[in-house]
Amino acid sequence: MSQALLQTKKRMRSVESISKITRAMKLVSTVKLKSQMKKMTNNRVYANELIKVVNDVFACGGDTENKYSVVHDSDKKLFIIITSTLGLCGAYNYNIFRFVDQMVLEKDDVIIFGEKGWSHYQNSSFNKLNEYRSFASQTNESVINNLSNYIIDIYQSKKYRQINLVYTEYKNSISFAPKTLTILPIENICKNDKKVLLGPILEPSQKAVIESIIPIYVASNLYAKFIESEVSEQASRRNAMENSTENANELYEHLKLEYNKARQASITQEIIEVVGAAKSNQ
């Protein structure tokens, strides 16, 4: 067998091996995607009901301004950026980085989740307050609660005008894009301008209810968007691995055809040489 045939055969084995790996990763991502989508769907019921409660407290509990809806006199913003810890997820992280670079200013501060985000912004001019590099599961309850309390405390210091969360919105299995959500200050989300005739009874007071419900509301928002980002990441990884598997299979078939043509040409050449040698000996 010629050297060219050996090289082609070696490439075929490499491509076949890569195809097996990407196919396995696609299956793993599919399983994780289904699990995370179930979490996201179940959580939406709770989150939507909580939004209604917060809406009632803010819109129907009186006109008194509270400290969680006040826009502070500051030109700085805090951005919490959700990236992935693992790679091989297509343009998932690239889209986040491009989105952040267009939005975040040098005077702003950032908190980064994910190894890929840490690596990308390691030498950037952004002021990084905290980094969660090896955060394997971004829906860890204790981390979410700690982050929620930290956000509330730091916002009350009046250092930031806004605290925003940069996450990836999941639209469908092939469509997801970076988006920002303002965590604090909380805007009145009630779209009904009619006077409320019978609002909720708030005990002991509106202020006390707000103080108890805001940490839950912030944590719920964070949890929901972290899950949505995980769903988008797994969907992006599944699509990337599916495309990689298809490309590997196409390349393998091309190499196989090339190998067979070269092998056929080699055999034909050997037959010609044998026949020629036989004729010359007659």
Contact 252, 20 (CB under 8 A): no
pLDDT tier, 30 (very low <50, low <70, confident <90, very high otherwise): very high
Q: At what angle do helices 3-60 and 206-281 cross, to 10 degrees?
A: 170
Of 275 and 189, the one with more pLDDT: 275
Contact 111, 81 (CB under 8 A): yes
What is the domain-level CATH number for residue 118?
A: 3.40.1380.10
Question: Is residue 13 assigned to a domain?
Answer: no
Question: Is residue 276 assigned to a domain?
Answer: no
Average pLDDT, the chain: 86
Number of domains, the chain: 1
Average pLDDT (105-114) is: 92
Beta strands in the chain (DSSP E): 77-82, 109-113, 127-132, 162-172, 175-184
Radius of gyration of the chain (CA): 29
Question: Is residue 194 assigned to a domain?
Answer: yes
Q: Which of 220, 216, 234 is nearest to 84 (CA)?
A: 234
pLDDT tier, 224 (very low <50, low <70, confident <90, very high otherwise): very high
Average pLDDT (235-253) is: 95
From CA 106, how far away is CA 127, in angstroms rounded? 8
- pLDDT of 51 > 60? The answer is yes
Domain that holds residue 135: 35-240
Question: Is residue 275 assigned to a domain?
Answer: no
SS3 state of residue 259: helix
Please give the structure tokens belonging to residue 109: 């501060």
From CA 59, how far away is CA 46, in angstroms rounded? 20
Question: Is residue 20 assigned to a domain?
Answer: no
Q: Which of 233, 255, 273, 272 is nearest to 17 (CA)?
A: 255
Query: What is the structure's pLDDT at 64?
Result: 52
CA distances (Å), origin 76, targets 43, 127, 162, 225: 32, 11, 7, 23
Average pLDDT (257-271) is: 85
pLDDT for 52-91, tens place per residue? Answer: 888 888 776 555 567 888 888 899 999 999 999 889 999 9
Question: Is residue 247 assigned to a domain?
Answer: no
Residue 204 one-letter amino acid: P
From CA 107, how far away is CA 62, in angstroms rounded? 36
From CA 159, how far away is CA 221, in angstroms rounded? 21
From CA 153, how far away is CA 160, in angstroms rounded? 11
- pLDDT of 31 > 90? The answer is yes
- pLDDT of 201 > 90? The answer is no
From CA 176, how far away is CA 225, in angstroms rounded? 13
Indicate the helix (H) or strand (E) that contains 116.
helix 115-120
Contact 16, 221 (CB under 8 A): no
Backbone angles phi, psi at 191, to 5 degrees: -100, 0
Question: Is residue 48 assigned to a domain?
Answer: yes
Question: Is residue 259 assigned to a domain?
Answer: no
pLDDT tier, 196 (very low <50, low <70, confident <90, very high otherwise): low
- pLDDT of 200 > 80? The answer is no
pLDDT for 120-165, tens place per residue? Answer: 998 888 888 877 776 655 567 888 888 999 999 999 999 999 999 9
pLDDT tier, 4 (very low <50, low <70, confident <90, very high otherwise): confident
